[in-house]
Structure 1
Amino acid sequence: MNRLFLFAACAAAVAATASAAPKPKAHPVAAAAPAKPEVSAGPGAADWRTPDPNDVLVIDTNKGRIVVEMVPEVAPLHVAQVRALAHENFYDGLRFFRVIDKFMDQTGDPQNNGQGGSSKPNLPAEFTFRRGSDLPFAMAADQTVAEIGFVKSLPVESQSMALAVMTKDQKVTAWSLYCQGVMGMARDDNPDSGNSQFFLMRYPYPSLERKYTAWGRVISGQDVVRAIKVGEPVDPPQDYMEHVRVLADMPEASRPKVRVIDPKGPWFKAEVERVRAAKGADFTACDVDLPVEVK
């Protein structure tokens, strides 16, 4: 089964059972929602962080600019491959050939039909990763047996760190949450078949978790992600990526200045508490926005 059709089969199966599937929790429908808590003052200087420019991907499309923070801590092999392909200008001109509203935008195929890839070797799956005490993890919800939080801009869930004392490597298993903006690697029915094709989440889709490798998240330009022309396949003319560059590779004069809120800072912790109070039992990490500045 090829890369396009496995993904299509997954989407078709989900669509066929849409009436039974849970709705994205980012848009809950309730008869009487809890009152929204008072908004606090904006973040201060100490609440921001500047991402490593080697881990920032700038995707210029015909619809606008998308800025992605890659997170090698959770998927080092996939980040290295995407970074290398961007260095080589591999992604320039490639089209969004399969776009499903309320789901994702797929691209990264030189054949623009889901059948191709790069000349680089396929990647082993990185559906989960090992979380140790040294990993910068910002807690958003402690569920006793599981912990939900953020590694940089990426929402993740893991086993409780209390279990680490019982493991050989003193770490626990963790995985990325497929919230809006999360970047995932396409593959076929072989888990170890990710290569160059990737997808950008238009909305949360938790059924992908621990089945597809997530390697980063859109930190600016989610409106562009949702503006990409929809179709399966997309009728011509298709939207496309004009240039895909690693921030560190861009000339200083044209390099955007990027900073994003630090999830380990006091402002973000207070913001999480406000959102949790507003959402109540429906709270998920996908409900939490990370402010960003791109100049």
Structure 2
Amino acid sequence: MRSLTRTLVLSLSLATPAFAAAAQDAGPAAAPMAVATDWRTVPADNLLVIDTNRGRILVEMTPDVAPLHVERMRVLARRGFFDGLVFHRVIDGFMAQTGDPLGTGEGQSPYPDLKAEFTFRRGPEMPFAPVAAPAGSAMGFLNSLPIQTQPTALMATTADGKVHGWGTYCPGVAGMARDEANDSANSQFFLMRQPYPALDKRYTIWGRVVSGLEVVRAIKVGDGDNGMVTAAPDRMTRVRIASDLATTERPVVQILDASSAAFRTLVDGVRTARGADFSVCDVDLPVQVSGPPAPPA
């Protein structure tokens, strides 16, 4: 038995294959006509640049949702901790996991484990854009992150003027791996290849892939827990915060602003196309990436 297990505890049998297949079959929606003011630039300090042997992955981190975990990612990236680490557990239709210096699922950074941030308090200052209203709640986007939350109207009744919220595991969402103990996340993280709502409120979400989801889905499959370790796993070659890169190396990411009219047009089109099967995971936010190309792997 492992003394330290940083792999996901849930079995893939808890997935919802029909939901994943439906989202995959839906395909990306066409971007609506948008003007310059409809685009939001991701702050460089919240942009994690993950270069891999498969290509570049850009993650918008969400400190409003998981400040402790975002700060840990910044610290480790700035120390070059992730450089050269393999994707040691990759399950097709699920996720790609990395961040273990041992490459076995047993390792971690020298820093203390983190307190879980499965949920957060959403205040009126946070840029929430609702897209659906299931009974007693709302689903939408906090910047690029899909979330579920209590209705905004409840803010008037709470002591802190805020409501309960949590991220939802759509494709591209970045989560933190842990042991069975809730407060045991450290350095290992995973990027979703497909939706997996069974993880909601069970593993801390700290960001979402905004460019390079096709890279995440191309990472070589291998799962040490099930004896399917690949002989030559894919790896991260360099991981940095965009603000730490020289301007000649720094990518600039613009995302369709969820508060814009163009975003509402996009959502309405996806909702019409999906009908009763519509989910927040069906909405693909258009992204523009500029700046220098990624360095060769």
Common fold by TM > 0.5:
yes
Match for residue 261 of structure 2 among 244, 252, 266: 266
Could you tell me how far apart the structure 2 residues matched to 1:99 and 1:281 are?
Answer: 31
Could you tell me how far apart the structure 1 residues matched to 2:268 and 2:108 are?
Answer: 43
Within the alignment, does 1:127 sit opposite 2:127 as a pair?
no
8 Å Cα contact 2:85-2:237 kept in structure 1:
yes
Within the alignment, does 1:238 sit opposite 2:233 as a pair?
yes
Q: AA paired with 1:247?
A: A
- Corresponding residue SS for 1:80: helix
* 1:130-169 pair list within 5 angstroms: 130-169=121-160
Within the alignment, does 1:89 sit opposite 2:84 as a pair?
no
- Corresponding residue SS for 1:77: helix
Could you tell me how far apart the structure 2 residues matched to 1:28 and 1:53 are?
Answer: 30
Match for residue 23 of structure 1 among 9, 18, 24: 18
Q: What is the TM-score with the length of structure 2 in the denominator?
A: 0.90
Could you tell me how far apart the structure 2 residues matched to 1:53 and 1:109 are?
Answer: 25
Could you tell me how far apart the structure 2 residues matched to 1:241 and 1:250 are?
Answer: 17
- Say if 1:198 and 1:41 are closer, same or farther in 2 by CA, change over 3 A: closer
Q: What is the TM-score with the length of structure 1 in the denominator?
A: 0.91
1:3, distance to aligned residue in structure 2 (A):
5.5
RMSD, aligned CA: 2.1
- Corresponding residue SS for 1:162: helix
- Say if 1:43 and 1:26 are closer, same or farther in 2 by CA, change over 3 A: farther
- Corresponding residue SS for 2:222: coil
Could you tell me how far apart the structure 1 residues matched to 2:114 and 2:159 are?
Answer: 26
Could you tell me how far apart the structure 2 residues matched to 1:229 and 1:29 are?
Answer: 19
- Corresponding residue SS for 1:133: coil
1:22, distance to aligned residue in structure 2 (A):
5.3
Report what 1:188 is aligned to. Answer: 179
1:269, distance to aligned residue in structure 2 (A):
1.1
Query: Which portions of structure 1, spanning 4 or more consecutive aligned residues, are displaced by more than 6 angstroms?
Result: none
Could you tell me how far apart the structure 1 residues matched to 2:114 and 2:50 are?
Answer: 22
Within the alignment, does 1:285 sit opposite 2:287 as a pair?
no
1:254, distance to aligned residue in structure 2 (A):
1.5
Q: AA paired with 2:279?
A: T
- Say if 1:286 and 1:114 are closer, same or farther in 2 by CA, change over 3 A: same
1:232, distance to aligned residue in structure 2 (A):
0.7
8 Å Cα contact 2:23-2:282 kept in structure 1:
no
Could you tell me how far apart the structure 2 residues matched to 1:199 and 1:87 are?
Answer: 19
Name stretches of at least 5 consecutive residues in structure 2 with no aligned partner: 291-297
Within the alignment, does 1:69 sit opposite 2:64 as a pair?
no
* 1:80-119 pair list within 5 angstroms: 80-119=71-110
Within the alignment, does 1:10 sit opposite 2:5 as a pair?
no
- Say if 1:204 and 1:168 are closer, same or farther in 2 by CA, change over 3 A: same
- Say if 1:52 and 1:256 are closer, same or farther in 2 by CA, change over 3 A: same
Q: AA paired with 2:10?
A: C
Match for residue 175 of structure 1 among 159, 166, 185: 166
1:133, distance to aligned residue in structure 2 (A):
1.3
| Number of positions where the alignment pairs a residue of Structure 1 with one of Structure 2 | 284
- Corresponding residue SS for 1:57: strand
- Say if 1:48 and 1:177 are closer, same or farther in 2 by CA, change over 3 A: same
Identity %: 50
8 Å Cα contact 1:256-1:294 kept in structure 2:
yes
1:111, distance to aligned residue in structure 2 (A):
0.6
Name stretches of at least 5 consecutive residues in structure 1 with no aligned partner: none
- Corresponding residue SS for 1:184: strand
Q: AA paired with 1:230?
A: V
Q: What do residues 251-280 of structure 1 show as CA deviations (whole Å, max 9, x unaligned)? A: 111112221111111101111111111111
- Say if 1:42 and 1:185 are closer, same or farther in 2 by CA, change over 3 A: same
Q: AA paired with 1:188?
A: D
